[in-house]
Structure 1
């Protein structure tokens, strides 16, 4: 027993071949998938490039922030060092040393791994009024890595008791 198809395919395809406008219409549609694929590739490439650019600028921002934190820590260290010089333990406060004297004994950070390539500059100004000595101490920390320089300045005002 042989199975017969429910409809005659030869007649159907024969009728399609006799209609040239259908064949012409199908030829116009064959390139649309290629255009869509190229469009998707271009859009995804643009998104990828934007993401890479964002990540690069984010990493650069973090590097500058770390360098700024190191400079701030160096400035704080210089400030604390000068305060310890002006207000020694178990004795009275002293007059600020001259800037030349301060520059000659300003500490360096050779032993501190986190503050290598950092320098500090400290200044101390004092004056006396009504037998009370007032101090303004300013410290600037500056850190350099690969030619990039970041500096932070901190200041404190103090008075003797």
Structure 2
């Protein structure tokens, strides 16, 4: 039995392998570039998330320090804003290095229906953390009432 097909000429197929190889290299190069971009974006978002958490904790620590000064241990509460404008640096703390907290305090005196006077304090802590070119800040506020 004889086949009537002509034998495939090798001259016509020259260069096909080269075209396929270039095509595969271009596709793989694009894939590598996309994965590298994804990896860079993911690592930047992790840095921002960690800085945000650190700045939140630094602001919380600033508030706690301010409340310790308003309500000293074994003594009467202080009804003035002695903590207004205080700056706290956390350089000795390994978790909050490169973070600072600034405390602001607003004070108002009110009397209730029973003619009892009390001082209303609004303490605000704003913390900023830096890491290279990245920066994150958080602002926390607490309100308290001190009876006069």
2:88 to 92, 96, 107: 107
SS in structure 1 at match of 2:81: coil
Do structure 1's residue 77 and structure 2's residue 55 form an aligned pair? no
TM, length-normalised to structure 1:
0.74
Structure 1 residues 133-148: aligned runs within 5 Å: 133-148=119-134
State the distance in 2 between where 1:108 and 1:22 align. Answer: 80
Structure with the larger helix share? 1
> Which blocks of at least 5 consecutive residues in structure 1 are unaligned?
1-6
> Which blocks of at least 5 consecutive residues in structure 2 are unaligned?
112-116
Structure with the larger strand share? 2
Divergent runs of 4+, >3 A? none
Count of residues paired in the alignment: 141
TM, length-normalised to structure 2:
0.80
Other-structure match for 1:3: none
Other-structure match for 1:58: 42
State the distance in 2 between where 1:78 and 1:106 align. Answer: 8
Q: 1:48 offset after TM fit, Å?
A: 1.0
